[in-house]
Amino acid sequence: MKLDTVCWRAPSARLTLLLAGLILSALASAAPTETLLVAFKRDVKVISSRDSEDRADQIRRAFLHHFGATPADSQSSTELLKARLYGLATVAHHAPDEGLAKEAAALASILHGRQAADHREISYVHRMLLAQRDFDGASYWSKRFPEVQLTTVPKVERMSAPQRHNAYAVSADGSRLLELPLDMHAYSGVLILGHPACGFSREAAAWMRTIAPERRPSMVRWLTPVDGDLQLPLITDWNASHQDQALLIARHERDWPFVQVWDTPQFFIFSNGTLQLHLDGWNERTQQALTRWLDLQGQATPDEQIREQGKQSG
């Protein structure tokens, strides 16, 4: 049997340099992407561990520092698209933004076209759209990716113009949201920022129930943070158990400028639209400050003792 002779010619010096350059270029483009993502995650962890009112701004600045302001495009590597998409989702988790959601949707679409998008990355965009309260966009996204089990988007009962809403009420079965305009300009009472999965929020609600009816504040509003996970099953369970302390869903952060960080629980006491006292967290000092405020119901404003107790409870 005759064997074919296979000849291999050593590559020329020029070809060798070209191949070496391509390999080094590939390594250089892959390593920085991984390094950027690791560095960004590290920065977010450090920032999140601090009790800072500008946490969201710090995380956004960290993103811009590592990834830059120029959006990625179809010419970018898959690794860079995935890393930037994760970064956008992280920034939006702390401060939802329409521009971030649009860019994330574009990146996920490119990845999907390359058959490189996983369910988690499709879910990132869906959460960002819900956090932005773009319910129509979230519905479209769900229909576009039926293979991904995304959160069901509730139907929204719109308000007639020109009223402007800043919150949503949740129907008993969680299938519908009703736009609500909560006027804070003349509000007198307490606004409580809480979350149905927060144990301290549940303890605060239980404590409020122990207050004698004649001492209870005339106005109490419970508000859940701006979030991409609407937590509708948890909210409906809460509302069924706390009908006098029903949770409403905040629309946009910009609608609530006095909220600096959306941690729960927090207590904002108003008198004729003016914020008089802010209490952060649920502890004995917070309870004492609230008790003191309840004792002074009917006075125009809380006294300096309440303000001092509020500072100490932070």
pLDDT of residue 14: 47
* CATH code for position 184: 3.40.30.10
Same domain, 120 and 212: no
Provide the 10 A C-beta neighbour count for residue 110. 19
Same domain, 78 and 195: no
User: Which of 111, 144, 177 delimits the end of a domain?
Assistant: 144
Same domain, 119 and 66: yes
pTM of the model: 0.79
Domain for residue 149, yes or no?
no
Residue 296 in contact with residue 302, Cβ under 8 Å?
A: yes
Q: 244-277, pLDDT tens digit by residue? A: 999 999 999 899 999 988 899 999 999 999 999 9
Burial 269-293 (b: 16+ CB within 10 A, else e): bbbeeeebbbbbebeebbbbbbebb
Residue 305 in contact with residue 231, Cβ under 8 Å?
A: no
Return the higher-pLDDT residue of 170 and 49.
170
For residue 217, name the pLDDT band (cuts at 50, 70, 90).
confident
pLDDT of residue 5: 34
Q: What is the mean pLDDT of residues 223-239?
A: 93
User: Which of 86, 109, 144 delimits the end of a domain?
Assistant: 144
Provide the 10 A C-beta neighbour count for residue 22. 10
Same domain, 205 and 287: yes
Domain count of the chain? 2
Q: What is the mean pLDDT of residues 156-163?
A: 77
pLDDT of residue 214: 78
Q: What is the CA radius of gyration of the chain?
A: 26
| d(C-alpha 165, C-alpha 252), whole Å | 10
pLDDT of residue 197: 95
Q: What is the mean pLDDT of residues 130-152?
A: 94
| d(C-alpha 95, C-alpha 254), whole Å | 10
Domain for residue 47, yes or no?
yes
pLDDT of residue 13: 46
Same domain, 179 and 303: yes
Same domain, 274 and 178: yes
pLDDT of residue 162: 59
Domain for residue 16, yes or no?
no
User: Which of 144, 175, 204 delimits the end of a domain?
Assistant: 144
Same domain, 178 and 303: yes
Instruction: Look up the domain containing 42 and give its range.
Output: 25-144
Same domain, 190 and 132: no
Same domain, 103 and 212: no
Same domain, 119 and 210: no
Picking from 6-20, 171-185, 246-260, which range would have the lowest pLDDT averaged per residue?
Answer: 6-20
Looking at the chain, the whole-number percentage of residues with pLDDT higher than 90 is: 63
Same domain, 42 and 92: yes
Give the orientation angle of helix 98-113 with respect to helix 119-131, to 10 degrees: 160
Q: Considering Cα of 280, then 283, then 285, then 291, what sign does the dihedral take?
A: positive
Average pLDDT, the chain: 85
Q: What is the DSSP string of 161-182?
A: TT----EEEE-TTSSEEEEE--
Same domain, 88 and 220: no
Return the higher-pLDDT residue of 24 and 63.
63
